[in-house]
Amino acid sequence: MASVLVALSGGVDSSVAAALALEAGHEVVGATMKLWGGSSDSGCCSVSDVEDARRVAHRLGIDHHVFNFTEEFDRHVVGPYVAACGAGLTPNPCIECNRHLKFDVFVTRACQLGFDLVATGHHARLERERGARVRLKRGRDRRKDQSYVLSCLQAPQLERLYLPVGELTKAEVRARASSLGLPTAAKPDSQEVCFIAGGSGPAARRAFLAPRLELHPGLVIDGATGEAVGEVPAVELVTVGQRRGLGVALGKRSYVVSVDVDRGLIVLGGEQELSQQEVGLTGRSWTGEVLSAGSRVAVQASAHGLLTPAELTSGGLRLLEPRRRIAPGQTVALYDAEEGEEVLGAGIALGEAPAA
């Protein structure tokens, strides 16, 4: 039996994770992170989610605590998100929250309180072999797999992690919650960035960023001709791969192939211009063994994106087949090349805007 601190987010998955930890005979306590308290208090870890987590803990008969990490959240997630947008990048704030809050600050607090393990409701699996490292693998329910957002974790964090729902499908999780009478059984999944009110579209992002970041108009260039074809009100709100919302019609399918904030330029191109095979990576981390240049991997650049075979290089990746350009700032998860089941590491995509 272990002492387990469950990160109760107020959702159904973490609720069932707590219940399964109890059923396994562990000593269980729930804790909810209070991360954001601004006027756009929504999404996961909001005030209503804290109350839902408290009700779940009461139903399960376990103690419940609230950890106020708002300063750490602003420093490690919100501030860097704003700065990344200002640089024309497309950041993953949820992954940075995992990296710095859930599996750093929260785990540190758990250790200080004497807990053996930290449990979350992520749909991913851990394989523990005696005398061997902990392996991070995809959740059993591939449609709900969340291994991508955990790809930034490293061995010391994985050793303290417990993922009780990874072997269940989402339907099985909801059925288990319903059978236990948990108040979150039918609660919808959170889909938005928790600190941006009104969703993650351009209007909501603009409303959030405008008081925190000076936004600049940008010129839209047809990459094939070099001609200016329009303008955007805020170049910082445009992302590589974007097709709609630019107010430009070229009479052909066109995408944003580069964003140059310094020059205020958005370059458009077709599928061929959008494709890439070389990907620069920064901030590479590994779940276990550090892989060397020449190692074969499979890469995934979004929560439910398709896997692409690749080979590691000294500065990043060489994709074995062309794919749509990965927006600079996006996390690239690295999986094993054979089955694409085990997470090997991650990095953040780099990119340079071509001259218009």
- Which DSSP string corresponds to 154-222? -HHHHHTEE-TTTTS-HHHHHHHHHHTT-TTTTPPPP-S-TTSTT-SSHHHHHHHHTTTS----EEEEE
Tokens read off for 19: 């219940």
Distance, CA of 79 to CA of 231 (rounded, Å): 27
Name the CATH topology of 3-121+164-179: Rossmann fold (3.40.50)
The pLDDT tens digits of the residues spanning 256-287 come to 999 999 999 999 999 999 999 999 999 999 99
Tracing tokens 């061929």 back to the chain, one arrives at 272
Whole-angstrom distance between the N-terminal and C-terminal Cα of the chain? 62
**Which candidate in 44, 45, 94, 194 is catalytic?**
194
Tokens read off for 140: 């059993």
The pLDDT tens digits of the residues spanning 42-97 come to 555 567 889 999 999 999 999 999 999 999 999 999 999 999 999 999 999 999 99
Distance, CA of 175 to CA of 171 (rounded, Å): 6
44 is catalytic: no
The pLDDT tens digits of the residues spanning 180-227 come to 999 999 998 876 688 887 766 778 889 999 999 999 999 999 999 999
97 is catalytic: yes
Domain ranges for the chain: 3-121+164-179, 214-269, 275-350
What does the DSSP 8-state code read for residue 102? I
Residue 116 CA: distances (Å) to CA of 6, 109, 267: 11, 11, 51
The answer to whether the beta carbons of residues 174 and 186 sit under 8 Å apart is yes
What is the chain's mean pLDDT, rounded? 92
Phi and psi of 276, rounded to 5°?
Answer: -150, 160
**Can you spell out the DSSP letters for 302-316?**
STTPPPEEEEE-SSE
Tell me yes or no: is domain 275-350 CATH 3.40.630.10: no
- Architecture per CATH, domain 214-269, reads as Roll (2.30)
Q: Side by side, which strands form the sheet with 117-119?
A: 64-68, 27-34, 3-7, 117-119, 161-162
Is pTM, for the whole model, over 0.75?
Answer: yes
**Which candidate in 44, 94, 97, 152 is catalytic?**
97
